[in-house]
């Protein structure tokens, strides 16, 4: 027998919503792009494979962020999927001032995008479109280049804690 509940009349608050979503394990990536002032990047947990034909990704980022603006201007971006050994980069690219995020972080240029060294995988994409959805922008990109480390332990966020996932 199924119990019937009363209709919910109040939307969940930010904290309640975030706590519910923390039950979903998610990979952590640093989204990077080029800008006239140098490399730009931020942490993202909303990344998914959108298509295999053509190979394409979707990344959801806060619309007001610098990375979104520069990815649009630059026309390309990289999705750097962090390894467990890079767990310190999650907070670095989420919390440090933009000018300090790349200081001391090993990276190189690939197709005009900064690519972090030591990632579990990286995908460089040409920006196809960037529609807005509520307070976020969806970067939809076609894959131009990939690299992966089959021995890397990927960084996963679950219940607001970092975990390593072995292959």
CATH number where 80 lies: 2.30.110.10
Residue 166 has pLDDT above 90, yes or no: no
pLDDT band at 23 (very low <50, low <70, confident <90, very high): confident
Q: Which residue has the higher pLDDT, 5 or 21?
A: 21
For 50, the domain range is: 26-151
Neighbours of 130 (CB within 10 A): 17
Cα(first)–Cα(last) distance of the chain, in Å? 41
Q: pLDDT digit string (tens) for 84-107? A: 999 999 999 999 999 999 999 999
DSSP state of 83: B
In-domain check, residue 134: yes
Task: Give the number of domains in the chain.
Answer: 1
| 34-59 tens-digit pLDDT | 999 999 999 999 999 999 999 999 99
Say how far apart CA 120 and CA 148 lie, in whole Å.
6
In a domain, residue 15? The reply is no
């Amino acid at each position: 027998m199924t119990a019937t509940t009363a209709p919910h009349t109040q939307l969940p608050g930010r904290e309640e919503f975030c706590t519910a979503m923390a039950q979903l394990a998610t990979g952590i990536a640093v989204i990077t792009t080029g800008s006239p002032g140098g490399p730009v990047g931020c942490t993202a947990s909303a990344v998914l494979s959108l298509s295999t034909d053509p190979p394409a990704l979707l990344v959801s980022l806060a619309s007001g962020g610098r990375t979104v603006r520069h990815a649009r201007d630059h026309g390309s971006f990289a999705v750097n999927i962090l390894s467990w050994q890079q767990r310190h980069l999650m907070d670095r690219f989420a919390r440090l001032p933009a000018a300090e995020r790349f200081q001391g972080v090993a990276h190189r240029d690939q197709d005009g995008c900064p690519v972090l060294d030591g990632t579990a995988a990286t995908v460089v994409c040409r920006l196809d479109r960037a529609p807005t959805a509520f307070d976020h922008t969806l970067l939809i990109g076609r894959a131009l280049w990939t690299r992966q480390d089959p021995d890397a332990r990927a960084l996963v966020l679950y219940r607001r804690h970092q975990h390593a996932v072995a292959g």
